[in-house]
């Protein structure tokens, strides 16, 4: 089902985003805004 694939992809994207933010916080203490401003934007 297309809806199931969409939901799975959405959860995968959110999990990757959360993991990236946690890595940024643990390694540099930077808030998400700093990380995004530095050019770490997800591909559109």
The model's pTM is: 0.47
For residue 43, is it within any domain? Answer: no
pLDDT of residue 4: 92
Specify the pLDDT at position 11: 92
User: Is residue 5's pLDDT more than 80?
Assistant: yes
pLDDT recorded at residue 25: 75
Q: What angle do CA 39, 36, 3 make, to 5 degrees?
A: 105
The residue segments making up the domain with residue 14 are 2-37
- Listed in sequence order, the residues at least 6 apart from 21 whose beta carbon sits closer than 8 Å to its beta carbon are 32, 35
44, pLDDT greater than 60: no
Is there a domain that residue 17 lies in?
Answer: yes
For 7-33, how does the pLDDT look when each residue is reduced to its tens digit (9 = 90+)? 999 999 999 988 888 887 777 765 556
Q: How many CA atoms, within 13 angstroms, populate the side-chain half-sphere of residue 18?
A: 6
Q: What total of structural domains would you count in the chain?
A: 1
- The secondary element (H helix, E strand) that includes residue 19 is helix 2-28
Residue 42 counted as domain residue? no
35: Cα within 13 Å, side-chain hemisphere:
19
Asked if the structure places residue 44 within a domain, the reply is no
């Amino acid at each position: 089902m297309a809806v199931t694939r969409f939901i799975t992809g959405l959860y995968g994207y959110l999990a990757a985003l959360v993991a990236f933010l946690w890595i940024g916080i643990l390694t540099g203490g930077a808030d998400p805004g700093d990380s995004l401003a530095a050019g770490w934007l997800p591909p559109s």
